[in-house]
Amino acid sequence: MMLIMFTMMLSLIISIIMMLMCTIISKTSSKDREKMSPFECGFDPKSSARTPFSIQFFLIAVLFLIFDIEIAIMLPIILTMKISLTKTWIFTIMMFIIILIMGLYHEWNNGVLEWAK
């Protein structure tokens, strides 16, 4: 019984010492405003959330996302080449690429790809 009490007291004392040490150590870094402010992708967290940003940047990011997903869709198509008919496979690939090219042409025609105006 005495051994259990000694172990409990020792663990309590060690945990209290560690908490005190962490509190003392953290006092020095709490004065730095840059370290204490949350990171929000370069935006100042104290300003309004309704500040405008470049819509061109957003459109380029969406375009990148579309072509990134396109790569993820095209990788399994290569594996299906062995089990599908050649004419069906070529027709499917050609339709997929034509749809992507038409989308790229539409964005180019609307001026999305022109960064500076």
| Residue ranges covered by each domain of the chain | 2-36, 55-109
Report the percentage of the chain scoring pLDDT > 90: 17
Distance CA 9, CA 21 (A): 18
pTM higher than 0.75: no
Tens of pLDDT, residues 5-61: 999 999 999 999 999 998 888 765 545 666 666 665 655 556 666 667 777 777 778
Distance CA 80, CA 91 (A): 13
In sequence order, the 6+-apart residues with CB closer than 8 A to the CB of 65 are none
CB 63 within 8 A of CB 112: yes
Using DSSP, state whether 83 is helix, strand or coil: coil
* Residue, of 30 and 4, whose pLDDT is higher: 4
